[in-house]
Amino acid sequence: VDAILPPQCLLTNERVQAHGDLSPHAWQMLQFIDRPYCQKCGVPFETSSLKPPICGPCTAPDGFAGALTASDGLDRVRAALVYDDHSAKLALSLKYADRLDGAAALARMMQRAAADITAPDSLLVPVPLHPSRLRARRYNQAAILAQHLATLTQCDLALTALLRHRATPQQQGLSAKGRERNVRGAFRINKESQPSLKGRRVLLVDDVLTTGSTLKACAKVLKRAGAAEVNGLVLARVVQDGKMTI
């Protein structure tokens, strides 16, 4: 098969050793998120003198609209990459181009980014697609990433713990407020999964974080169902206004 379809880099289309590999150029092009970053929401800092490093919005009282984290929602968030043209291409390759051969490599990047928020007893839960979109797309890219992460981390996987029971219009082009309205009430817990969530440390998996409204909505539902901790893990996240300096 390799002779007919030689393995190509997901990003640069250069020849690579194996299907799903990234070329050395691709590794250089991607912006990996490394410390220092906010210990809670994971937003990268240019430099940090704060100890512990926690950004302003994350120290605000619950209900502060600009915060990703809240005591009744997300506890911590990690992302492997800054969302830019290159990481967008990787995410899209997984979503629409059926380059599922790259999922394992992308999951490895995510595993590395989430090392400090992953425990042996973490429960991996992917952000679900609505059944109508799942039928159209044939697979849920977040579930594919979560499956690879389960193999890599040996953590339990609950593929259907969260259900999307309301088809939400595409989030693209919506403001942060619009996105929050759009996903409000869109998720619920699968009754069969409810007992397994009690007191659990959940690692919520998605491909891209834009404003965080989807992860926030999912985290709220999981906390209400009894999850002790809900952390978010994405492949790439939007970092507004470049890196923050605190």
> Which residues of the chain form contacts with Zn ion (CB under 5 A)?
38, 40-41, 55, 58
Which residues does residue 206 pair with via DSSP β-bridges, in sequence order? Answer: 234
Q: Which is nearer to Zn ion, 6 or 66 (CB)?
A: 66
Q: How far is CA 131 from the centre of its chain?
A: 20
Question: Which run of H or of E encompasses 88?
Answer: helix 85-95
Helix or strand run (H / E) with residue 181: helix 176-183
Closest approach of Zn ion to the CB of residue 66, in Å: 10
Question: In the complex with Zn ion, which residue's Cβ is closer, 17 or 71?
Answer: 71
Contact call for residues 209 and 236 (beta carbons, < 8 A):
yes
Nearer residue to Zn ion within complex by CB, 41 or 70: 41
Query: Smallest distance, Å, CB 96 to Zn ion?
Result: 31
Cα angle vertex 214, ends 145, 66, to 5°? 125
How distant is the alpha carbon of residue 246 from its chain centre? 25
Nearest-approach distance from CB 239 to Zn ion, in angstroms: 12
| Minimum distance from residue 77 beta carbon to Zn ion (Å) | 8
C-beta closer to Zn ion: residue 147 or 231: 231
CB 244 within 8 A of CB 33: no
